Amino acid sequence: MKLILASRSPARRELMKELGMPFSALASDYPEDMKAYRAQWRLAKFLALGKALHVAHKLPEAVIIGADTFITCRGKNIGKPVSIADAKRLIRYMSGHIIKVYTGVAVVQTDTKGNVVKKITDYAVTDLTIKKMSAAEVDLLAHQKDALHISGAFSIEGEGGKMITKICGDYNNVIGLPMYVLEKMLKKITSRA
């Protein structure tokens, strides 16, 4: 059985290496609908499953992992910015507040024809306390290389990590793949029971 990560995220690929199992990555171009559900936990699971199912038909006899990470701040879902100006706006909105990082995870198994025979979903949430940022710090984060490709416009790795004063929950979830949750799901989906 092949193990496939349905993501183009370099951070998720690095985390997958920690499992010690061979895997391949295939980017899922699933269109994210951030308004599909109001409950964030449900939305995270829905988007992760959509990403896994979007590529499943191409992958016979495989276990496919889909993941989706987004942020909420003050009850509002925050996705990827569309421009540098939008990134600055999002970062200013989160500055000085607690944000919640949700990652939905889906694990899907296919048969010899690429039909889905099993699917499970779960999620993790981690709280981050963000310091009050200066205009220069906001500008610095908004101009980071990956700012337009990640939820909330900044990553816990690098400069973004310097803006976080407290973490409550799974650090790997913030990077984009809660490993404890994923390992439990892989054991469950590959068991015969």
> Which residues are CB-contacts of 50 (< 8 A; sequence separation ≥ 6)?
30, 32, 66, 68
* Number of neighbours of residue 41 by Cβ within 10 angstroms: 15
Contact 65, 1 (CB under 8 A): no
Tokens 């003050």 correspond to 74
Give the alpha-carbon dihedral of 146, 66, 77, 140, to 10 degrees.
Answer: -10
Q: How far, in Å, CA of 54 to CA of 94, rounded?
A: 32
68 is catalytic: yes
Catalytic residue among 29, 68, 127, 146: 68
Altogether, the residues listed in the chain come to a count of 193
* Number of neighbours of residue 50 by Cβ within 10 angstroms: 20
The catalytic residues are 68
